Structure 1
């Protein structure tokens, strides 16, 4: 008889996601430091062979976390199975990272050396992080998710090609690891029918204007377009394409008519989107939101404080829309 799956809070999920991200940053740093930057197809295959079992392990952790979260939210829902992840997907990701840093010329030697590289100390570090993911503490402080933050990276051009590859590779590996859990949520919503959907929840750590815009949409239910698409006035992209490197957003299941983790955040962001983008459409609307988020980050404003400021500037009421002009009484 199997023991019941322990509940997983939103705070616990976000905490565990951060641990998996750390695993992948360590993996990229250690492999590139010892093996160099892969420049040829053969070298990329060799690096993929070393990284793959460790990334696959992280993907399984991500899937288990998503399954625990879904069972916590909707106990009667059976999570969709883990999507297959062939090593060719990792090889392509490595090639894409190298293409992003075209001046990488830090090459390494023959494949025989690569296949015998000792990563036992890295595996010990990954084991420690994996144990932390598997045995989450009972008390995890709720993350601060209100203050918008925009990553402003200065001096990036001064980084060496190797450092830029390590940074980008770690972020790309983390995205592929987290995709296992995110895809499971979307696939589960897809198979459950029209009553169950999914929504994006911001973590409050690395939330860009694009993530904020997507989170403002709220739940996405199965329709003629299918839950695999994010569509509407704010753009249309396949769900898997809406997550980017360094993205730490979370996907949660939502049942129509029921409360869900992240609902209050969504309602706030929906109002923020409306106020920040008045008079704009398309990519100009996203850019308008981005400018306001930079402003909030600069001035130390929470999303709520930014919304209040915009309402005052737009002369809007809390319910949305501009107040009707008062008619003068006839004398």
Structure 2
């Protein structure tokens, strides 16, 4: 079942083309990573999915319903956590969590208490006293306590320390194992790499790549360090080789994945004494796509 689907989704703000025919599909029971730099169009897409913005063109469906016309019904079945949570300043964190849960008709005190302990959160303080990280915890605790069909996270761990990031990841994995669906927009690429079943990369309002991490590996370069019996001549001119850096005992460089077999065969002629390989990461992929690109806030 498809939980989120956009077809040629477009949005203009005056003369600014924020989204240009964005096609995206999130399936039931998967974690979909939605990545891109600031200004790429991630938040605009999410606001349309939440019914907060009208698209200029195309379609957006959430849980089989029209994102704008059926926004109320959709919100009963989803939890949304933005990257900067605003709370009622005179309520305590616990009162806000209870209020958010009540919007969904949920009164699971045991689940709420478990999450409060897991996120090491003090629910007795007024929200005006909370740091950014604690405000994020309020929204995350409420979201996981609600246990909806769909989670939409837009930079959800902004302000959290690494230990709390791991707690967040634990509950995302638990939700996926329960068949829930998650749309995760994040700048923390290691988080996306650990959690996501599929990834969509957006740049300048356009989706430029979609697939599993393995599907996208062909676009990355593998990092190699090699020591050889004889010096390697003109390595920087070899096809598929990049960023050559000579070191005291050897040389480090990057190789396009599709050229790996050829480069390894050519290296053999120089008498390999030592070789170290680091697999391509999502960050490598991300940086290659965004070399030299920019964007405004949208």
Q: What is the TM-score normalised by the length of structure 1?
A: 0.29
Higher relative helix content: 1
Higher relative strand content: 2
Q: What is the TM-score normalised by the length of structure 2?
A: 0.32
